[in-house]
């Protein structure tokens, strides 16, 4: 599971590193007022960026277990770890509901 977490961290770093460059190439390739040759060069430059630099490579994962499903974004924990830590009082502002 640690490998999945490390892969996700690596993908997040690559996305943040290439974000500005990717945005520039993407807008240049979609701008219809530019010459077709310039647009084609921008599209080729966009395709030459690393595959991990694509924002869709990022998946929210639990920081404790690496689980990819049932992750609460605010705490970055899966539902199992969230419940365990909330019952132990490790999450500030989270109380067990009772009615």
What does the pLDDT look like over 88-98, one tens digit per residue?
A: 999 988 888 87
* Averaged pLDDT, 55-75: 89
What is the model's pLDDT at position 27? Answer: 95
The answer regarding whether domain 1-59 maps to CATH 1.10.287.1480 reads: yes
* Averaged pLDDT, 2-31: 90
What is the model's pLDDT at position 86? Answer: 92
* Averaged pLDDT, 2-26: 90
Q: What is the CA radius of gyration of the chain?
A: 20
Asked if the model's pLDDT at residue 22 lies above 80, the reply is yes
| Structural domain spans, the chain | 1-59, 60-99
The CATH number of 60-99 is which of 3.40.50.300, 4.10.830.10, 3.20.20.70, 3.30.300.30? 4.10.830.10
Give the Å distances, CA to CA, from 30 to 3, 23, 24, 87.
Answer: 36, 11, 10, 51
| pTM of structure | 0.69
């Amino acid at each position: 599971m640690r490998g999945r977490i490390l892969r996700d961290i690596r993908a997040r770093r690559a996305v943040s590193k290439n974000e500005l460059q990717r945005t520039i190439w993407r807008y240049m390739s979609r701008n219809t007022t530019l010459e077709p040759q310039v647009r084609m060069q921008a599209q080729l430059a966009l395709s030459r960026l690393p595959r991990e630099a694509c924002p869709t490579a990022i998946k929210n994962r639990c920081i404790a277990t690496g689980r990819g499903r049932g992750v609460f974004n605010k705490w970055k924990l899966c539902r199992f770890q969230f419940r365990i830590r909330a019952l132990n009082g490790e999450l500030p502002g989270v109380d067990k509901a009772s009615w």
